[in-house]
Structure 1
């Protein structure tokens, strides 16, 4: 059984293991890659993952359908959280923010059908649409929750002020912002979540390629007989009890490496050394896929 520190109750009642899985990188085609992706998703659940993150943006629902192929009927205790609020233009084919109530409602209805569930236990707004009043966006999700189609409401890539405004309208169960050992721009948002008991799901929980290049992280990894990725995830898990990392991968060996981080324990001295690391410069971030 997981220790109490390895689990978290989202909204105080939805029990998940804190180290989850981000499905964004799972390929849905061609057939051979899809088969491997299905195997990775199944292996994640075999290893005890109970929180899997996906979104409509990931292939226009194809990622959700992949998870259904791999995991439906879902085992007891598994939560698949998805995101809405980004839509593809019928004219240009480009993705853009769209938080209009009719769009959000239609996307939730389609997600219910794709995921083959009667209720999405945790539904997150992928981004706040600046062209639509926040009250309309959050209010629509609140209505869908009242209708029993959503269990809990989350937000993604927000500021403390936006979180405060949203909480005036409805209870917020989770926040999904970019955050990792080398990128702590959203520390104030994490602090606000910790104070309110709101789950904080860091996307890009490991700075790809950078963790192994930082001497201090590599040194701690060598001391523990671990990898820099594992050290980075262990740091996150120990940083605040509301942090629920969702590292993603399309490889089973990387999945197993990531999940083994749950058993890694940093000493106070090691944690202090990591805490002092400067935040990574991010000049190319805007070119990266955004979970």
Structure 2
């Protein structure tokens, strides 16, 4: 779903200004605000709306979409196949490491074994209708939130990287990323050529600051999920922080936009993939790229404490 060349780093192939500006990912330039497709599964009964939302994202300058075959048990990838055209030059990033478990508590189950990783890549290729997935993230289960590996799902990193590098050599994936990992795991994986890391990270949850700095030093994109916190009950929410609320009032923006803008300004290698199933919310997220934070506001936001709470696993 990518073409050979992007006409300009200042605009996307669709001619739209890049929301958040340009940033590097897997050897090419993308908009620093992309789109996380997980919530498209909520539109299972309104396929037309899902396609329209993806088309609107492209019109607004999104050319980096994050997905997974286990989102909606293939429904989301099927929507992407229908909505995204080769000429859009969209970098589609998928992930492996879990399979759908609709009746389970999360509703996912670990799929960490090498043969499961290969099967998941093959399923992504079929669902997306492509010969190569540009980037595939290995969703390790070393760090929360969510799933934990047990039994035969506890798999050595080297065995997992072996199958992914093999798939890369075969041309079925373009590059390898990691998700849900610790500093030590990323350090071990560096020789495999990691292009991005996805961990839970936000203004109120910055435990991975050392990992973020390692990514910066190695030229690896940092792609936080749950960028506004609050993904599980009891977890802190960026949009409830007094400093964020004060900044939003002062700037005439929403608290969500302030939280996303802080991430963009916090480090140059941050790429955002906020998700939504609502077009109005999509437009609001994209507009976060235009939020200017003055020095006093940034100082106040930087002073917000990083907090964590126990993460429920069921």
Match of 2:222 among 187, 200, 220: 200
Residue 167 of structure 1 is matched in structure 2 by 190
Cα distance per residue 1:236-256 (max 9 Å; x no partner): 001111111110011111110
Matches within 5 A, 1:25-104: 25-27=39-41, 29-32=43-46, 34-71=47-84, 73-88=85-100, 95-104=108-117
State whether residues 40 and 252 of structure 1, in contact with CA within 8 Å, keep that contact through their aligned partners in structure 2.
Answer: yes
State whether residues 18 and 31 of structure 2, in contact with CA within 8 Å, keep that contact through their aligned partners in structure 1.
Answer: no
Residue 35 of structure 2 is matched in structure 1 by 21
**Pair 132,70 (structure 1): closer, same or farther in 2 beyond 3 Å:** same
Residue 150 of structure 1 is matched in structure 2 by 173
Match of 2:245 among 204, 207, 218: 218
Specify every segment of 5 or more residues in structure 1 that has no aligned partner in the other structure, as ranges.
none
Cα distance per residue 1:181-205 (max 9 Å; x no partner): 1111211211111111101110011
What SS does structure 1 have at the residue aligned with 2:41? coil
* TM-score calculated relative to the size of structure 2: 0.83
**Pair 240,91 (structure 1): closer, same or farther in 2 beyond 3 Å:** closer
Aligned length: 283
In the alignment, structure 1 residue 188 sits paired with structure 2 residue 188: no
What SS does structure 1 have at the residue aligned with 2:203? coil
What SS does structure 1 have at the residue aligned with 2:57? helix
What SS does structure 1 have at the residue aligned with 2:109? strand
Q: Distance in 1 between matches of 2:75 and 2:284?
A: 26
Q: Distance in 2 between matches of 1:70 and 1:206?
A: 27
Q: Distance in 1 between matches of 2:216 and 2:44?
A: 41
Cα distance per residue 1:145-180 (max 9 Å; x no partner): 111111110000100100011113x00001000001
Match of 1:119 among 126, 132, 136: 132
State whether residues 97 and 127 of structure 1, in contact with CA within 8 Å, keep that contact through their aligned partners in structure 2.
Answer: no
The alpha carbon displacement at 1:69 in A equals: 2.0
The alpha carbon displacement at 1:277 in A equals: 0.1
**Pair 63,4 (structure 1): closer, same or farther in 2 beyond 3 Å:** closer
Specify every segment of 5 or more residues in structure 2 that has no aligned partner in the other structure, as ranges.
1-9, 11-16, 142-148, 231-235
State whether residues 197 and 223 of structure 2, in contact with CA within 8 Å, keep that contact through their aligned partners in structure 1.
Answer: yes
Q: Distance in 1 between matches of 2:112 and 2:296?
A: 45
The alpha carbon displacement at 1:143 in A equals: 0.6
What SS does structure 2 have at the residue aligned with 1:25? helix
Match of 1:255 among 273, 282, 289: 282
**Pair 90,18 (structure 1): closer, same or farther in 2 beyond 3 Å:** closer
Match of 1:238 among 262, 265, 289: 265
**Pair 70,77 (structure 1): closer, same or farther in 2 beyond 3 Å:** closer
The alpha carbon displacement at 1:264 in A equals: 1.0
The alpha carbon displacement at 1:286 in A equals: 4.4
Q: Distance in 2 between matches of 1:25 and 1:92?
A: 18
The alpha carbon displacement at 1:285 in A equals: 5.6
Q: Distance in 1 between matches of 2:43 and 2:284?
A: 25
Query: What is the aligned-residue RMSD (CA, Å)?
Result: 2.4
